[in-house]
Structure 1
Amino acid sequence: MVETGFSSFDTMVDKANRLLRDVEEAFGWPKERRKQSYAALRAVLHPLRDRLPVETAVQFGAQLPTIIRGMYYDGWKPAETPVKMSNEEFFERIRSEFPYAVEGGNEQLVRTVLKSLERHVSEGEWQHLKSRVPNSFAALLP
Structure 2
Amino acid sequence: MVDAGYAAFSTTVDRTNRVLKEIEQAYGWPKERRSQSYAALRAVLHALRDRLGVDEAAQLAAQFPVLIRGVYYDGWDPSRVPQRMNRDEFLGRVRREFSYDVDGGMPRLVQTVLHALRPHVSHGEWDDIRAGMPSDLAAVVAV
Q: Same fold (TM over 0.5)?
A: yes
Q: Which runs of 4+ in 1 moved over 2 A?
A: none
RMSD: 1.1
Partner of 1:73: 73
The Cα shift of 1:86 comes to: 2.0
Aligned positions of 1:81-100 closer than 5 A: 81-100=81-100
CA contact (8 A) 1:63 1:121 kept: yes
Partner of 1:54: 54
Partner of 1:12: 12
Percent of matched pairs sharing the same residue: 54
Indicate the SS of the match to 2:62: helix
| 2:132 matches 1:135 | no
The Cα shift of 1:105 comes to: 0.9
Q: Deviation string for 1:74-129 (max 9, x for gaps)?
A: 11111111001221111111111111110111111111111112222122212222
CA contact (8 A) 1:19 1:120 kept: no
Following the alignment from structure 2 to structure 1, what is the Cα–Cα distance between the partners of residues 88 and 123?
A: 27
Following the alignment from structure 1 to structure 2, what is the Cα–Cα distance between the partners of residues 56 and 77?
A: 14
Deviates more, 1:115-124 or 1:95-104: 115-124
Q: TM-score, normalised by structure 2?
A: 0.93
CA contact (8 A) 1:23 1:116 kept: yes
Q: Deviation string for 1:40-86 (max 9, x for gaps)?
A: 01111101110011111100011111001001001111111100122
Q: Deviation string for 1:11-65 (max 9, x for gaps)?
A: 1111111111111111121111111110001111101110011111100011111
Indicate the SS of the match to 2:120: coil
Partner of 1:117: 117
Indicate the SS of the match to 1:139: helix
CA contact (8 A) 1:56 1:132 kept: no
Runs of 5+ consecutive residues of structure 1 not aligned to the other structure: none
The Cα shift of 1:132 comes to: 2.2
Following the alignment from structure 1 to structure 2, what is the Cα–Cα distance between the partners of residues 17 and 48?
A: 20
